[in-house]
Structure 1
Amino acid sequence: MSDELSWWKQPNLRRLYLMLPFLFLGSTTLGYDGSLLNGLQSMETWQDFFKHPVGSNLGIYGAMPGFGGLAVLPFAPYIADNLGRRNGTAIGCLFVLLGALLQSFSSASNPQPMYLAGRFFIGFGGNLSNGTCPLLITEVSHPRHRGRTTTIYNTLWYLGAIIAAWVSYGTIVHLADNLQWRLPTGLQCAMPGIQLLFLWFIPESPRYLISKERDDEALAFLIKYHGNGDPDNAFAKWEYNEIRETLHMEKAAAAKSGWYELVRTPGNRKRCILIICTAVFSQCSGNGLVSYYLSPVLKSIGIIEPTKQTLINGGLTIWSWLVSLAFAFAVDKIGRRILFLTAGIGMLIAFTVWTACSAVYAKSGSSQAGSAVLAMIFLFFGVAGLAWPGLTVSYTVEILPYNIRAKGLTLCFVFTALSGIFNQYVNPIGLLNLAWKYYFVYIVVLVIECLVIYFYFVETRGPTLEEIALLFDRDDVHVAVGPIVEKGQIDSEDGHIETVSK
């Protein structure tokens, strides 16, 4: 797709995209939670309330949302496919609200059970919302904008982190009792609450509607938003026919396969390997050290003041979001594979220097070495923002056909959660016992990551969601190719003419 469709010139498409930010809020939940835990560790009131947890005791607080996320994942694809993308998101929001309230009202006499239950529900609801929101965004977006809208979604992880970081800083400065940590904990209700209120103004996925034989509603959606209300719009009719025929072909091919469909064909097996690699790399590239345990990392280079730690956390989240958001708009120009590879190489270089400077600081106490570590942390997250977290979800949903899209996204979140549990439970133990030497684990992971991306990742820039199957399935492909695609024509302004390489 070489030309740009000016969405702001299409009133109905513009109206649709102005509603998408309420869906983007689904990505803020786990970002808020990770940054919040960083902020809480800098608060003496929180430390006193929970008896100064370290090592495995601290790790369980970080890992519990991962356990909640794993618990919901077996059900998430069935909720998304049977109840719909919107309803699945709404249910997830309700669980996040419950989790936030349980944490913020933890009992002073025995706080751990109630607090851990709340963190479990945060992960449960957050992963359910994250398993449905990206599907809805991807499936309602115009094919020309799909890459950008879905990639922007996961960058909002940093918006949640920014809000948590600065709220934590404000309460550290202005509050002294347990309200200092209870207030930012309770504010986890804000984003899912707003999303829940506005969710019902957002239309359901046309692919979901067609899968439920609500074809008239799906066609009406495509005409209204992708065809700008013109019932004779050729692109909207072509898109409807392609989606409808492709879903029917996929359904017939997978009718007896169930979850086995994920590995039934060589193309699907390759998709699964890519999804697992993307999920693991998104969590195990060294970013988990800072996302959840910035406080111990900063203490290891002599930064111990709570206000300074929270200021650094706040500044780092803003920097990371700006970089990831900027490159979210470039995914269709630069390409997914190049962004993944550039991020991997940049992270490897930054993390290697970070490790070396940490070693120098540990041996000499050099303030210059400590400052260099801090600079490398910012550089690391800057280059990471080229691909992570934005492409983690968007790449996953792009490479999957509709019939296994919800199940494949669940696979992504299973390995994201498993990797997250490892990070959040093992990292504080590793930092406590090995200090900077623990960083070598992530240097090895980053080397493997760069090699896998270079030799195995597939570029998905250009084709529609249905046509991406041609890159993977070859003889097993189930895609309806209409006359417009065969002629290679879709207009650059209203979607009628396009060149699609086969």
Structure 2
Amino acid sequence: MTSTWAWRIPSALQGLFSIITILLLPFLPESPRWLAYQGRNDEALEVVALTHANGDRDDPIVLAQYQEIVETLEWEKSAGETLSLLQTVKTPSSRKRILLSTSVAVIVCLSGNNIVSFYLGSMLDNAGITNSTTQLEINIILNVWCLLVALLGTWAMNVLGRKQIAVISAGLLTVFLFIVGALTKVYGTSTNTNGVYGTVAAIFLFQGSYSFGWTPLSTVYPPEVLNYSIRANGMAIFTVVTNAVGLMVTMAFPYALDAIGWKTYMINGVWDVLQFAFVLYYWVETAGKTLEEIDEVIDGTKHSDVPNITMIIEGKAVMDVESQTGSIHRRNKEPAGMATKEL
């Protein structure tokens, strides 16, 4: 298409999903932590019950999760933690949490994936593939490939763990980015068909390595490492950093690719080595834990006396449902006397 609809149609189609999201928002429940923080405990319990047990308020897992939320929020209030922006840097724990969450923002933009996402055409030109139809076909297949690998990574996060997935993804994409750079240098202006398509294969392996870890981690890990008092502001900071780094990449990389070509990938690969080392050394594992239980990993202590959810599920701990239900009813000022089951 030669008219402005060449860019208007793709933009409109992307906007369609934003409209669908807006239409769905009124039907989503409030966060149980926000409800509990506002003193709307009964509604918070209802949301937890709907999430974990199809509305069964007397389920042991529901009661344990709810009590974790309430007790942790009470501790945060008693410790003087506020919802202010200052709280994000007020304590060593908050600063560590912000560093962990914003590291994701930097990594998802500076791993080299944006070279392929934004400048795939230039990248393929450098690799010797200049036919526009061939480039379009590669682009479509690449996106389908990335979707499938991202789904696999999403599943694997709960099997291997967040940090393990991040280490695997960061390590593999570093290796493949160096390979893309080397192949582009050797075959970028070559007529060697095998070399050119070897470069394309390396691009697919690089993007697959990125999608396996960083596509799902970018939405899961940041809110998991932020406790309630800084979660909203922390996610705002995460978004600002993501867009700022993304803007820098968008403005800088075209000049880099034009001026030094394949060397851009090598420079980015060296940066990826540093990212890999940071994740390996500094990241903490959050898989299999509730947001309140992650406090124990970062702060060294859990701010609730309730047994960990996984221990209850595995039968390694007992939740006194009758006592807990009575306590909840007293807290919510509702008549007690319903549940007597125990796990």
Q: What range describes the TM-score normalised by the shorter chain of this pair?
A: 0.7 to 0.9
1:332 aligns with 2:155: no
- Shift in Å at residue 489 of structure 1? 2.5
Q: Percent identity?
A: 34
Contact 2:163 2:285 in 1 (8 A): yes
Deviation per CA, 1:89-140, whole angstroms, max 9, x where unpaired?
xxxxxxxxxxxxxxxxxxxxxxxxxxxxxxxxxxxxxxxxxxxxxxxxxxxx
Pairing 1:15-94 to 2, within 5 Å after superposition: 45=2
> 2:233 maps to which residue?
407
1:489 aligns with 2:315: no
Q: Aligned to 2:30, what secondary structure does the other structure show?
A: coil
> 1:424 maps to which residue?
250
Deviation per CA, 1:260-316, whole angstroms, max 9, x where unpaired?
322222222222222222211111011010111111111222322322222211111
> 2:78 maps to which residue?
252
Pairing 1:338-357 to 2, within 5 Å after superposition: 338-357=164-183
2:271 to 439, 442, 445: 445
1:227 partner letter: A
Q: Aligned to 2:303, what secondary structure does the other structure show?
A: coil
1:199 to 25, 43, 48: 25
Q: Aligned to 2:29, what secondary structure does the other structure show?
A: coil
Q: Equivalents in 1 of 2:190, 2:50: separation in Å? A: 66
> 1:186 maps to which residue?
12
> 1:228 maps to which residue?
54
Deviation per CA, 1:184-205, whole angstroms, max 9, x where unpaired?
2222221111222222222221
Deviation per CA, 1:426-480, whole angstroms, max 9, x where unpaired?
1111111212122222111111111111211111122211010011112xx5622
- Shift in Å at residue 181 of structure 1? 3.2
Contact 2:227 2:292 in 1 (8 A): yes
Q: TM-score, normalised by structure 1?
A: 0.59
Pairing 1:454-493 to 2, within 5 Å after superposition: 454-474=280-300, 477=301, 479-482=303-306, 484-485=307-308, 488-490=311-313
2:305 partner letter: V
Q: Aligned to 1:302, what secondary structure does the other structure show?
A: coil
> 1:299 maps to which residue?
125
Q: Equivalents in 2 of 1:230, 1:281: separation in Å? A: 41
Deviation per CA, 1:382-406, whole angstroms, max 9, x where unpaired?
1112211210221111111111111
> 1:20 maps to which residue?
none
1:237 aligns with 2:63: yes
1:481 partner letter: D
2:303 partner letter: V
Q: Equivalents in 2 of 1:224, 1:355: separation in Å? A: 50
Q: TM-score, normalised by structure 2?
A: 0.85
Q: Aligned to 1:489, what secondary structure does the other structure show?
A: helix
> 1:391 maps to which residue?
217
- Shift in Å at residue 237 of structure 1? 2.2
Q: Equivalents in 2 of 1:292, 1:354: separation in Å? A: 16
Q: Aligned to 2:274, what secondary structure does the other structure show?
A: helix
Contact 2:180 2:203 in 1 (8 A): yes
1:289 aligns with 2:112: no
Deviation per CA, 1:370-422, whole angstroms, max 9, x where unpaired?
21211110000111122112102211111111111111112222221121011
Contact 1:254 1:403 in 2 (8 A): no
Q: Equivalents in 2 of 1:189, 1:420: separation in Å? A: 20
1:373 aligns with 2:199: yes
Deviation per CA, 1:218-241, whole angstroms, max 9, x where unpaired?
122223332333342232222222
2:257 partner letter: L
- Shift in Å at residue 364 of structure 1? 4.2
1:347–1:208 Cα change, 3 Å: same
Contact 1:250 1:478 in 2 (8 A): no
Q: Which consecutive residues of structure 2, in runs of 5 or more, have no partner in the other structure?
A: 321-343
1:185–1:222 Cα change, 3 Å: closer
Contact 1:226 1:236 in 2 (8 A): yes
Q: Which consecutive residues of structure 1, in runs of 5 or more, have no partner in the other structure?
A: 1-42, 46-176, 498-502
Q: Equivalents in 2 of 1:254, 1:300: separation in Å? A: 56
Q: Aligned to 2:63, what secondary structure does the other structure show?
A: helix
Q: Equivalents in 1 of 2:90, 2:6: separation in Å? A: 53
Q: Equivalents in 1 of 2:310, 2:136: separation in Å? A: 57
1:434 aligns with 2:260: yes
Which is further off, 432-441 or 178-187?
178-187
Q: Equivalents in 2 of 1:328, 1:202: separation in Å? A: 22
Q: Equivalents in 2 of 1:190, 1:362: separation in Å? A: 38
Q: Equivalents in 2 of 1:440, 1:486: separation in Å? A: 45
Q: Equivalents in 2 of 1:233, 1:449: separation in Å? A: 42
Q: Equivalents in 2 of 1:386, 1:408: separation in Å? A: 25
Q: Aligned to 1:229, what secondary structure does the other structure show?
A: coil
Contact 1:209 1:215 in 2 (8 A): yes
Q: Equivalents in 2 of 1:225, 1:347: separation in Å? A: 36
> 2:134 maps to which residue?
308
Q: Equivalents in 2 of 1:193, 1:267: separation in Å? A: 37
1:256–1:446 Cα change, 3 Å: closer
2:312 partner letter: Q
Contact 1:347 1:384 in 2 (8 A): yes
1:321 to 131, 135, 147: 147
